[in-house]
């Protein structure tokens, strides 16, 4: 780990040099700060866009000395804060304070560079920044990001029964290098949703997909534009409107290209008949996207279909006994009573 700026270290460092050190710190250290990983991804993307402009500012332009030195000081402080955040417990009362200061720095860097970019007629990067930069209100701290557009995987069952083997088999498919399009079918009440929520919280699955595991309950014919809008909201805090399904797919392709080659897992739960064409659009036209669909109906075009069987008598009895014990306050319920 590189030593943070302290005291008078690097007193003669230029704006560009300090910016580069901050950018490297965000990439190498910020990505490990799990609580605010989404924020650091956005911060890193902004710094990536601004890097060539900062180089030009550093080499060519005569920027106001007072403003430049003030920003250099803030960037040095931010580097220290990032290292502190990486060693701070999520429950710490200082966590949100640190994050707020980093958000303020992000805004200050963008504001400073926008003025310089306008002087250089760098409208290309200005346009991208306007498209990607969320407002302060939109940049909610992740601890507060629980809303109707959330794609977080629901909490798995406390007492899953009979799902160990299906979990292992589906996990084997998802951990393959090639993108997977998996269909999980079964009649209602067999545990499809319980199984995919277990997958979404599995440590090996989370190790592969990291922050890019998205769960969308459908329970009707699939609305492609709504699903893509929710993905935008959870990846970059924006909710664009689309002219058509094709427009939604095109913008999703562009979004995923910008965030790089990270694999993505999209879980669509309880998809109904009539969704075949829209599912096909997602599977064929979106790179790095792994799709896991649950449905009572079979659909064509998937790379792997898993037919989840109903619980056998032993597992059904275990589950029923557990449910009854919660209601009755006792687990000592005779099997003969259950079988009646």
Lowest mean pLDDT among 303-307, 311-315, 331-335: 331-335
Q: What separation in angstroms does the CA of 118 have from each of 111, 247, 254?
A: 11, 30, 25
The answer to whether residue 135 is domain-embedded is yes
Residues 139 and 201 in one domain: no
**pTM for the full predicted model:** 0.57
Residues 169 and 269 in one domain: yes
Residues 185 and 236 in one domain: yes
Give the DSSP H/E element, type plus range, for residue 293.
Answer: strand 289-295
- Which of 93, 116, 144 corresponds to the end of one domain? 144
- Tell how strand 304-307 and strand 289-295 pair up: unpaired
Per-residue pLDDT tens digits for 221-277:
788 999 998 888 777 667 788 889 999 998 888 888 776 677 899 999 999 888 888
Check residue 168 and give its pLDDT. Answer: 92
Give the DSSP H/E element, type plus range, for residue 265.
Answer: strand 264-269
Question: 155 vs 238, which has greater pLDDT?
Answer: 155
The answer to whether residue 332 is domain-embedded is no
Residues of the chain with pLDDT > 90: what percent?
A: 18
d(Cα 54, Cα 13) in Å, to the nearest integer? 14
Residues 42 and 82 in one domain: yes
Give me the domain span that covers residue 87.
Answer: 15-144
The answer to whether residue 280 is domain-embedded is yes
pLDDT category of residue 79 using cuts at 50, 70 and 90: confident
Residues 101 and 219 in one domain: no
Quick check: 116 and 62 in contact, CB under 8 A? no
pLDDT category of residue 196 using cuts at 50, 70 and 90: very high
Per-residue pLDDT tens digits for 311-326:
666 755 665 665 555 4
pLDDT category of residue 51 using cuts at 50, 70 and 90: confident
- Which of 80, 114, 144 corresponds to the end of one domain? 144
**Section 116-143 average pLDDT:** 48
Q: What is the DSSP letter of 304?
A: E
Give the DSSP H/E element, type plus range, for residue 126.
Answer: helix 123-132
Residues 135 and 200 in one domain: no
Q: What is the DSSP letter of 191?
A: S
Phi and psi torsions of 292, nearest 5°: -125, 115
């Amino acid at each position: 780990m590189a030593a943070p700026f302290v005291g008078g270290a690097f007193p003669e460092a230029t704006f560009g040099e300090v910016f580069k050190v901050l950018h490297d710190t965000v990439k190498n250290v910020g990505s490990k700060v799990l609580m605010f990983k989404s924020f650091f991804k956005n911060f890193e993307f902004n710094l990536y866009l601004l890097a060539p402009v900062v180089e030009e500012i550093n080499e060519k332009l005569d920027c106001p000395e007072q403003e430049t030195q003030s920003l250099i000081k803030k960037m040095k402080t931010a580097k220290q804060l990032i290292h502190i955040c990486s060693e701070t417990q999520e429950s710490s009362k200082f966590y949100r304070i640190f994050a707020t200061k980093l958000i303020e720095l992000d805004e200050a860097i963008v504001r400073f560079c926008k003025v310089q970019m306008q002087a250089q007629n760098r409208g290309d990067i200005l346009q991208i920044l306007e498209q990607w930069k969320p407002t302060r209100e939109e940049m909610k701290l992740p601890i507060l990001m629980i809303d109707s557009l959330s794609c977080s995987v629901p909490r798995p069952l406390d007492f899953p029964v009979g799902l160990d083997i299906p979990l292992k088999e589906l996990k084997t498919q998802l951990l393959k290098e090639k993108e997977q399009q998996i269909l999980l079918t079964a009649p209602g009440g067999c545990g499809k949703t319980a199984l995919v929520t277990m997958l979404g919280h599995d440590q090996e699955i989370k190790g592969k997909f990291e922050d890019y595991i998205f769960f969308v309950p459908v329970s009707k014919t699939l609305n492609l534009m709504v699903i893509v809008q929710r993905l935008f909201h959870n990846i970059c805090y924006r909710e664009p409107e689309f002219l058509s399904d094709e427009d939604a797919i095109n913008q999703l392709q562009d979004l995923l290209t910008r965030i790089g080659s990270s694999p993505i897992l999209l879980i669509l739960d309880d998809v109904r008949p009539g969704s075949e064409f829209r599912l096909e659009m997602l599977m064929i036209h979106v790179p790095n996207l792994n799709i896991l669909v649950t449905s009572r109906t079979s659909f064509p075009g998937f790379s792997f279909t898993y037919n989840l069987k109903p619980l056998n008598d032993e597992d059904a009895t275990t589950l029923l006994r557990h449910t009854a014990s919660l209601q009755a306050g006792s687990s000592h319920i005779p099997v003969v009573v259950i079988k009646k």
